[in-house]
């Protein structure tokens, strides 16, 4: 299974609705929505209003990546706005088990995102609650950064950890995913690929998405 999830962080916000529809038409599977609070990460992006606006123009799965402090206070708003998948950062959740319970109690699928320096052991005792795991392959905060190679071994180890635990959680990789890194991240065991600049900074979204999919099926 290959899931391509364009991140709207690199879309043209003056035409957000058109951009979302364009990637849907081009064959994207999910739409990835990066929420940044200027605290957990050094950048501010957008909140539930934008999730709600996307919901009005697409039936695609909406995957909301919360790069925010104290996410529990905000999770209900994102669930109400129409998020299908919500990930929280392990580094921002002292009560990670409770945060995951909260997401699931409201309906969306629950995931944990791990920064490049965070070990996989952060999810060891919540593994049975996870619908997906997001491996950050850049430091979160900005689009267009270079892929961190150490992420490959981490994805391989995660893949083993999940299968040993009998988990079907989806492995999502986020940051620097493009034509140059796609084959390696697939081989490591990822199946959901977030791509921001690699999709939105190209003229022909269909050609780009088809190309990425082909590299992952090689
Ligand atoms: C980074 C975000 C990513 C970002 C990826 O903080 O979580 O989703 O949009 O951008 P690219 O694909 O350009 O690295
Ligand atoms: Zn993201």
- Summarize pLDDT for 145-159 with one digit per residue, the tens: 999 999 999 999 999
- Centre of ligand 2 from the C-alpha of residue 167, in Å: 22
Taking CA atoms, 211 is separated from 27, 180, 217, in Å, by 11, 11, 10
- Does 38 show up as a binding residue in the annotation? no
Catalytic-labelled residue, pool 77, 84, 174, 204: 174
Catalytic-labelled residue, pool 34, 37, 63, 131: 34
| Atom of ligand 1 lying closest to residue 175 CA | 14
- Summarize pLDDT for 122-144 with one digit per residue, the tens: 999 999 999 999 999 999 999 99
Helix segments in 34-150, DSSP class H = 48-57, 75-81, 96-106
Taking CA atoms, 69 is separated from 36, 91, 99, in Å, by 9, 9, 12
Model pLDDT, residue 125: 98
Model pLDDT, residue 163: 98
- Given a cut of 90, whether residue 218 has pLDDT beyond it is no
Structural domains of the chain in order of their starting residue, each with its CATH number: 3-216 (3.20.20.70)
Q: Above 0.85 for ipTM, yes or no?
A: yes
How far is it between the farthest Cα atoms of the chain?
Answer: 46
Reported pTM: 0.98
Structure tokens at 53: 């606006």
- Summarize pLDDT for 29-79 with one digit per residue, the tens: 999 999 999 999 999 999 999 999 999 999 999 999 999 999 999 999 999
- Summarize pLDDT for 80-123 with one digit per residue, the tens: 999 999 999 999 999 999 999 999 999 999 999 999 999 999 99
């Amino acid at each position: 299974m290959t899931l391509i999830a364009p991140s709207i962080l690199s879309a043209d916000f003056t035409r957000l609705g058109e951009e979302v529809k364009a990637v849907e038409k081009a064959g994207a599977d999910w739409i990835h929505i990066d929420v940044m609070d200027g605290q957990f990460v050094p950048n501010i992006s957008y909140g539930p209003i934008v999730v709600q606006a996307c919901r009005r123009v697409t039936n695609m799965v909406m995957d909301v990546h919360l790069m925010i402090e104290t996410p529990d206070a905000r999770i209900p708003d994102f669930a109400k706005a129409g998020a299908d998948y919500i990930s929280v950062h392990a580094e921002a959740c002292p009560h990670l088990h409770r945060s995951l319970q909260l997401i699931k109690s409201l309906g969306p699928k629950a995931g944990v995102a791990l920064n490049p320096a965070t070990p996989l052991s952060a999810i060891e005792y919540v593994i049975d609650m996870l619908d997906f795991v997001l491996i950050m392959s850049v430091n979160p905060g900005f689009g267009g950064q270079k892929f961190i190679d150490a992420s490959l071994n981490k994805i391989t180890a995660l893949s083993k950890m999940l299968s040993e635990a009998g988990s079907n959680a989806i492995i999502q990789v986020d940051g620097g995913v493009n034509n140059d890194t796609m084959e390696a991240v697939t081989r490591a065991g990822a199946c959901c690929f977030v791509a921001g600049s690699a999709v939105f900074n190209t003229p022909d979204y269909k050609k780009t998405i088809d190309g990425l999919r082909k590299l992952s099926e090689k």
